[in-house]
Chains A and B, each alone.
Chain A
Amino acid sequence: MIWQLDLFLLLFVIICALAAINIKDLLSAVIILGAYSFFMCLLWAEMGAVDVAFTEATVSAGVGTVLFVAAVFKTVRRSKD
């Protein structure tokens, strides 16, 4: 575990989380949430939890983003806050 890389990835994770909850376009928010999941996956591979990183990359960043995008296309894309 390299602490400089750890801090760098944690910073990107926090930036992605803040952007995902503050952006008004819901499709953009969902794509940024996928980027958040990929940074989380890198963070776990860096911590030595390789199995968790694989599961996060396939399940949460892959399937989760697809489900969110499908739900946004079935409903409404704009948001008030």
Chain B
Amino acid sequence: MLEYILAKYNFWIYVVLMMIGLYAMMGKRNLVKKLIGMNIFQTSIILFFVSIGVKKGGATVPIIMGHGHGHGQHLIKVADYLNPLPHVLMLTAIVVSIATTGVALATLILIYKRYHTLEEDEILAIRKDPSSYKTLG
């Protein structure tokens, strides 16, 4: 059992990172902290996908070596190169994650202009009782 856990140690660490992000999204009340937690969650999933493409035994980056200009004399061994498909997919995911972060930050600035606070409980209190807005703002 211990060998099984130690052989896949990186997957357990990704799960720990994902739980840190989930806790920050659910447990923290500040909205910027929630956004930081969402970033950590996204990067942990991207890390998991990229680590699937890694091979053991001296595999290198997927650039084909040699000088086979159409002759095709050398066989290309797949085990010598990493799997580039998860890399390409996760490249898109990084760009999408920065786009979602930008939209979330713009929404956050609008929330601050309207409520003059970024704490979730204070915003909910103002929404429930709008007369308390004057004392806070």
Contacts and interface: CB of A to CB of B under 8 A. Distances in A.
Interface of A: 1, 6-7, 10, 13-14, 17-18, 20-21, 26, 29-30, 33, 36-37, 40, 43-44, 47-52, 55-56, 59-60, 63-64, 67-68, 70-72, 74-76, 79-81
Majority DSSP secondary structure for residues of B touching A? helix
Given A18-B20, A48-B82, A63-B98, A79 B40 contact: no
Contacts of B112: 74-76
Majority DSSP secondary structure for residues of A touching B? helix
Contacts of B91: 51-52, 55
**B interface bracket (residues with beta carbon within 8 Å of A):** 35 or more
Contacts of B36: 20-21, 29-30, 33
